[in-house]
Structure 1
Amino acid sequence: MEELQVIQSKIYEIRSMKVMLDRDLAEMYGVQTKVLNQAVKRNSTRFPEDFMFQLTDEETQNWKSQIVTSNAIKMGVRRNPFAFTEHGVVMLASVLRSEIAVQTSILITRAFVAIRKLVSTPPADRVTELQQEVKELKEYIEEAFADYNDINEDTRIQLELINQTLAELQSKKATNDKPRPRIGFVK
């Protein structure tokens, strides 16, 4: 599980795609970045644009600003890194042809799948839980003050806030229940 978290921390969103950079992949596969990129260049037909692309200067600067590293590591980037999509990462395992590459590719694929699953299933259950907890709180307050004919102003305001929160949670749940647009190629 810890390995997946480490891998997930090295998955970036660039050009609206989840990708991993050549330097991170080289580290995971136990090779130098230069060796990884040479293997890719020797097998360039296996890496179309939807498997791999090189970052632009602007994308590289954005990436550098997102990571917190020392200047020594930042200065080690002499050229714009290559970004590999999930399919590109799987293809790397066949190009590198080592047992470490195969095992690492399996872990990386699992990390991509976990991220995709997390993104595709929003935490709507948490909204329902919060809604239930707020309802229970409201009922408790109403029961606690049921014997008193006169509810003070503070308690009345709290009950109004709880009712407002319940309404907001209900509207959020309704928003999350809307069907999502289909993703993929459309003819």
Structure 2
Amino acid sequence: MNLISIQQRIFEVRGHKVMLDFDLAALYEVETKVFNQSIKRNVDNFPDDFMFRLTSQEWDEITIQLDHSPGDPDTNRSQIVTGSQKHRSSAFLPYAFTEHGVTMLASVLKSPKARKMNIAIVRAFIALRKFALDHRGITEQLRDLQQKISEHDVQLSQIYDAIENLLDQKAEEKKWQDRERIGFKK
């Protein structure tokens, strides 16, 4: 499984990068039901900052992202979304696993396949974090440019006001110069 296909299964929810139970089950090549049973048997290993159940609203937002994301070369995600996963009842909303939760899965799922997949998933999370850190400078540069542009907008506005005042003064002076003189004529 390549890194990009794993990264496409990582979403941001509640300020955390997470993977969903059915995506993890697919990566570990087990049924989602079996995967979740293993988790429930070891629920003490998964505090709220490692694993949480999505709300209906969060799930709706993710399904919109899934509907608009490019196809995953390893699975047909559109079939997953339009099938049983998209229309889950609130009692069966997916679990979301943070990076730490995924790491904890290694202690729960002990097959060789699970260990290899865990390593690949953790590497995907690390690559995303590295990408974000590498591009932090670009975000700061954009913020600086935005501030300069807003400063220039203020300065340009002041220049336009000054030009309008000058034009108004010239128009007023011209009005007085072009008027017909009255009174004593030579």
Give the TM interval when normalised to the shorter protein. Answer: 0.5 to 0.7
**Does 1:80 find its partner at 2:79?**
no
| Alignment partners' CA distance in 1, 2:142 and 2:25 | 45
**Does 1:89 find its partner at 2:102?**
yes
Runs of 4+ with >3 A deviation: 73-78, 168-175
* Residue aligning to 1:165: none
Contact 2:53 2:94 in 1 (8 A): yes
| Alignment partners' CA distance in 2, 1:49 and 1:5 | 27
Counterpart of 1:5 in structure 2: which amino acid? I
| Alignment partners' CA distance in 1, 2:116 and 2:22 | 18
What 5-or-longer segments of structure 2 have no aligned partner?
Answer: 68-77, 149-186
Q: Structure 2 vs 1, CA of residues 65 and 32 (structure 1 numbering), >3 Å: closer, same or farther?
A: same
Cα shift at 1:76: 5.8
Instruction: Say which SS state the counterpart of residue 67 (structure 1) adopts.
Output: helix
| Alignment partners' CA distance in 2, 1:51 and 1:170 | 33
| Alignment partners' CA distance in 2, 1:23 and 1:36 | 8
| Alignment partners' CA distance in 2, 1:3 and 1:99 | 18
Contact 1:23 1:81 in 2 (8 A): yes
Greater RCO, 1 or 2 (C-alpha within 8 Å, sep 6+): 2
Q: Structure 2 vs 1, CA of residues 170 and 22 (structure 1 numbering), >3 Å: closer, same or farther?
A: closer
Cα shift at 1:39: 0.5
* Residue aligning to 1:118: 131
Counterpart of 2:121 in structure 1: which amino acid? I
Please give the TM-score of this superposition, normalised by the length of structure 1: 0.64
Contact 1:124 1:173 in 2 (8 A): no
Q: Summarize the alignment of residues 127-166 of structure 1 with structure 2, pairs less than 5 Å apart.
A: none
What 5-or-longer segments of structure 1 have no aligned partner?
Answer: 128-167, 176-187
Structure exhibiting the larger radius of gyration computed from Cα positions: 2
| Alignment partners' CA distance in 2, 1:170 and 1:95 | 44
* Residue aligning to 2:31: 32
Aligned length, in residue pairs = 134
| Alignment partners' CA distance in 2, 1:73 and 1:86 | 26
| Alignment partners' CA distance in 2, 1:108 and 1:37 | 18
> Aligned-residue CA RMSD in angstroms?
2.8
CA distances 1:86-121 after superposition (whole Å, capped 9, x unpaired): 111111122011001000000000000000011112
| Alignment partners' CA distance in 1, 2:13 and 2:113 | 26
CA distances 1:128-181 after superposition (whole Å, capped 9, x unpaired): xxxxxxxxxxxxxxxxxxxxxxxxxxxxxxxxxxxxxxxx98944999xxxxxx
Counterpart of 1:117 in structure 2: which amino acid? K
* Residue aligning to 1:49: 48
Cα shift at 1:72: 2.3
Instruction: Say which SS state the counterpart of residue 27 (structure 1) adopts.
Output: helix
Please give the TM-score of this superposition, normalised by the length of structure 2: 0.64
| Alignment partners' CA distance in 2, 1:103 and 1:72 | 28
